[in-house]
Amino acid sequence: MSQIPTYSPIDPSPEVLEFLAARRSPSAKLMEGEGPSAQQVDEIIHLAARVPDHRKLGPWRFIVIRGEQRAELGQYIGTRFKALNPDLPLDRSVFESARLLRAPTVVAVVSAPVECLRGTPEWEQVLSVGAVCFQMLLAARAMGFAAQWLSEWIAFDEVITAKLGLSGREKIAGFIYLGDSTQGLTPRPRPDVEARITRLGD
């Protein structure tokens, strides 16, 4: 997107409302095709980064995993899995090695909180990275791609996160799998929102 359009905050957008009401995540394991190009991935990331961010700290960063890097990192994941689970059959580590191959692009979204002397609490910085992940799903979907937000054990394993270059207080907020999909998505049961609303006033 070469130019960022500006909108009046009060412009209604029924298309966006419809889009949000129908939003679902296609499954990464059923993704197919080439998905977004490298340039389109960059575009998705730039759109995803346009989130509320108290004091403009940018407490997030992105690791884009594509092509053969998925298999190479996958080998590392498989070996790590075997080391953690020596008694499980070999086919389990082979399965783990293929995790990143489910989609042509996997973006690791990293929570990278910064020391903010002016007082943006880490909690707010973490909320901002959650918004980045969700906006990435929306941006990808609006560009016609499939996107799913997964964590799985690899997000929490410190050997794997170190291999990805995370340090200090950094954490994986999610792996966003990006590809193509022809999956027909039906609504899924949702939590009872009404039961979770407290109304004060009219």
DSSP 180: B
Gyration radius from the chain CA atoms? 19
* Binding test (CB under 6 A) with ligand FMN, winner from 151, 156, 159, 182: 151
Nearer of residues 38 and 142 to ligand FMN, judged by Cβ: 142
Pick from 110, 103, 107: nearest CA to 168:
110
Stretch that binds ligand FMN, among 60-68, 72-80, 149-157, 160-168 (CB under 6 A): 149-157
Sign, CA torsion 175/178/183/189: positive
Task: Build a one-symbol-per-residue string for 78-117: x at contacts with ligand FMN by CB under 6 A, - elsewhere.
Answer: ----------------------------------------
Residue 57: phi and psi, rounded to 5, are: -85, -25
Q: Does the protein bind ligand FMN through residue 157 (CB under 6 A)?
A: no
Task: Tell me if 148 contacts ligand FMN by CB under 6 A.
Answer: yes
- Per DSSP, 181 falls in state -
The answer for residues whose C-beta is within 8 angstroms of residue 103's C-beta and 6 or more apart is: 28, 31, 35, 146, 148, 177, 178, 179
Among 150, 160, 166, 178, contact with ligand FMN (rule: CB under 6 A): 150
The residue number with the shortest CB distance to ligand FMN is 25
Q: Which residues bind ligand FMN (CB under 6 A)?
A: 24-25, 148-152, 174, 188
